């Protein structure tokens, strides 16, 4: 992996290859030259008059060398000691300095450190090195900017001037079947430091299409692309998953620590994963496919290199699809929905599960109910916010989660929620339609434990009714849950009233022959153990959201919970 890499508005700085301790070292680096070249190309596109002024009919290469020489001189000399054509118009040059700094900060910037071990000293040095680099870049900018400006600033902002995140990488020797030998020397993320709140601007803002099965092993099409790969090892639920990603899509991966528990070296070394993802594979196709390697009992997903996969949902949903396929093999039923444990003031705990596809109103119902029930709920714990599983233990249906965080639409959250948790959050295109945020919300041990289910409801966002409706037989329940009807809000490629098998296009829809008997088995047990089953009317698909009908439905829902 090279010392400095720039592509797709992503910058990777390899501290192990080259670490800049001074501004002069930074200015002398190939990386700074590459950055300056990219900035001039951007300036040509966005501000032609400034571009023409700075070039003054010279070649770009000559101008870049002239600029670097001037900046080096400015580190030690005052402006009145310097003779440069750039300083003859300080207003223009100051604008160039600001635009270059903003161009640098507009990119997603990540540092990388390779290590042989994870001693406390190694970890401390990795964090300190990144902090020092950030401060060095900020000091360098301030020195140049204030000299050109001719005065000290009155206000100083401690922005993320260097990197957005730092990755500590190690090589793990895992149990590697021969078919996966090309993955053997790809480094694993051992530790990650995020500078939150982190704002990422992917080129795509929604997921298109579905994940389909292929008969071709993805490893036969794997393109290592000059060793431009890393691995994020994680636990999706309890399943060990190795997410291999092309470094051009590092921005897609830095949100994962808020969502999937980073697996330790102890959990990976000499261990075969249950799922593997190849994300950003340069195979010339537009595949979002999965394959079951029966010989090695590994589910393998492949997402081909293309602009649209910058949307975080591609990575998240591929991981959940592979999880669900493996879960069904284990006899677990994947639930596309949300679960929350409510601790009531009378000392009782109630487990509520809401099921529905994207935009059905699962998390919004929980938000509304939480606001209504203030004072009557002592505390609440989120078990899953998007995907969980039902299992049968001791003759009862229990639920577990898959994620330690939530990937949610900003538009559908209570106005204060995103701001309350923003110091730990990763935002995706927060100024756009379908803006999303990844918020860490739960403890891994609690998420993956078995939790009692007291109420299981389908989130109906299309029927013009308020409140909830109980069903008491399998024959009543199956049409509601299996049909998976909803009014799509445009968060994927779907719009209008649509149906999805069991409201879950991430595994169950693809393996209905395996899922059908699991549905029958779980619902039979739910009714035998007197669990409340039904549907809640969220109104999100109605005009004006049914005049905020979700509030009325949530109030009635909470009354039913108290009556259980």
What's the token pair of residue 10?
A: 């992503």
Give me the half-sphere count of Cα atoms (radius 13 Å) on the Cβ side of residue 509: 16
What's the predicted TM-score (pTM) here? 0.94
Fill in the DSSP letter of residue 404.
Answer: S
Residues 6+ apart with CB under 8 A from 23: 75, 136, 139, 140, 143
Distance of alpha carbon 501 from alpha carbon 498, whole angstroms? 10
What's the token pair of residue 517?
A: 């008997």
**Phi–psi pair at 263, nearest 5 degrees:** -75, 145
Q: Which fold has domain 333-404+441-563?
A: Phosphoenolpyruvate Carboxykinase; domain 3 (3.90.228)
End-to-end, the C-alpha distance of the chain in Å comes to 59
Domain ranges (residues) in the chain = 4-163, 171-329, 333-404+441-563
| Closest of 360, 290, 354, 371 to residue 325, by C-alpha | 290
Rg (CA), the chain: 26
The CA-based angle 415-554-339, given to 5 degrees, is 80
Each residue's pLDDT expressed in tens, for the chain with a length of 564 residues? 889 999 999 999 999 999 999 999 999 999 999 999 999 999 999 999 999 999 998 999 999 999 999 999 999 999 999 999 999 999 999 999 999 999 999 999 999 999 876 555 566 788 999 999 999 999 999 999 999 999 999 999 989 999 999 999 999 999 999 999 999 999 999 999 999 999 999 999 888 888 999 999 999 999 999 889 999 999 999 999 999 999 999 999 999 999 999 999 999 999 999 999 999 999 999 999 999 999 999 999 999 999 999 999 999 999 999 999 999 999 999 999 999 999 999 999 999 999 998 888 888 899 899 889 988 999 999 999 999 999 999 999 999 999 999 898 887 666 666 667 788 999 999 988 888 999 998 999 999 999 999 999 999 999 999 999 999 999 999 999 999 999 877 655 666 889 999 999 999 999 999 999 999 999 999 999 999 999 999 999 988 888 889 999 999 999 999 999
Work out the number of other CB atoms within 10 angstroms of the CB of residue 74: 21
Report how far apart, in Å, the C-alpha atoms of 223 and of each of 322, 337, 549 are.
Answer: 21, 35, 51
């Amino acid at each position: 992996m090279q010392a400095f890499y720039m592509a797709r508005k992503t910058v990777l700085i390899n501290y192990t290859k080259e670490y800049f301790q001074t501004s002069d070292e930074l200015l002398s680096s190939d990386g700074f030259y590459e950055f300056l070249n990219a900035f001039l190309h951007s300036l040509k596109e966005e501000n032609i008059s400034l571009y023409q002024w700075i070039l003054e009919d010279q070649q770009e290469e000559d101008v870049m060398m002239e600029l670097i020489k001037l900046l080096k001189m400015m580190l030690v000399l005052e402006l009145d000691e310097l003779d440069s054509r750039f300083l003859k118009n300080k207003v223009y040059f100051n604008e160039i300095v600001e635009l270059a700094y903003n161009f640098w900060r507009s990119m997603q910037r990540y540092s990388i450190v390779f290590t042989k071990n994870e001693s406390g000293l190694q970890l401390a040095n990795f964090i300190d090195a990144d902090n020092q680099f950030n401060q060095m870049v900020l000091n360098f900018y301030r020195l140049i900017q204030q000299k050109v400006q001719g005065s000290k600033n009155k206000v100083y902002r401690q922005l993320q001037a260097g990197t957005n995140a730092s990755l500590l990488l190690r090589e793990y020797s895992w149990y590697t079947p021969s078919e996966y030998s090309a993955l053997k020397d790809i480094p694993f993320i051992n530790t990650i430091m995020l500078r939150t709140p982190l704002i990422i601007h992917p080129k795509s803002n929604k997921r298109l299409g579905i994940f389909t099965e292929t008969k071709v092993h993805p490893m036969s099409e794997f393109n290592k692309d000059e060793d431009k790969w890393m691995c994020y090892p994680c636990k999706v639920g309890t399943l060990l998953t190795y997410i291999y990603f092309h470094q051009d899509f590092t921005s897609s991966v830095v949100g994962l620590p808020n969502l999937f528990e980073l697996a330790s070296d102890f959990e990976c070394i000499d261990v075969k994963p249950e799922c593997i993802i190849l994300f950003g594979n340069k195979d010339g196709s537009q595949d979002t496919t999965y394959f079951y390697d029966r010989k090695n009992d590994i589910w393998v997903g492949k997402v081909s290199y293309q602009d649209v996969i910058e949307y975080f949902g591609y990575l998240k949903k591929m991981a959940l699809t592979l999880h669900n396929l493996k879960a069904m093999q284990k006899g677990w039923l994947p639930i596309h929905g949300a679960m929350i444990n409510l601790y009531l003031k009378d000392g009782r705990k109630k487990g509520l599960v809401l099921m529905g596809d994207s935009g059905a109103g699962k998390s919004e119902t929980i938000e509304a109910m939480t606001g209504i029930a203030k004072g009557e709920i002592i505390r609440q714990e989120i078990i899953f916010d998007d995907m969980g599983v039902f299992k049968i233990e001791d003759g009862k249906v229990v639920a577990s989660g898959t994620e330690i965080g939530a990937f949610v639409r900003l538009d559908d959250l209570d106005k204060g929620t995103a701001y309350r948790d923003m110091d730990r959050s990763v935002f995706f295109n927060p100024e756009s339609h379908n803006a999303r945020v990844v918020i860490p919300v739960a403890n891994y041990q609690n998420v993956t434990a078995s939790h009692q289910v007291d109420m299981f409801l389908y989130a109906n966002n299309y029927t013009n009714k308020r409140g909830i409706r109980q069903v008491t037989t399998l024959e009543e329940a199956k049409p509601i849950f299996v049909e998976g009807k909803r009014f799509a809000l445009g968060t994927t490629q779907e719009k209008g009233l649509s149906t999805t098998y069991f409201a879950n296009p991430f595994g169950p829809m693809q393996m209905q022959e395996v899922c059908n008997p699991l549905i029958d088995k779980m619902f039979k047990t739910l009714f035998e153990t007197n669990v409340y089953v039904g549907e809640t009317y969220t109104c999100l698909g109605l005009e004006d959201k049914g005049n905020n009908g979700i509030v009325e439905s949530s109030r009635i829902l909470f009354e039913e919970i108290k009556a259980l």
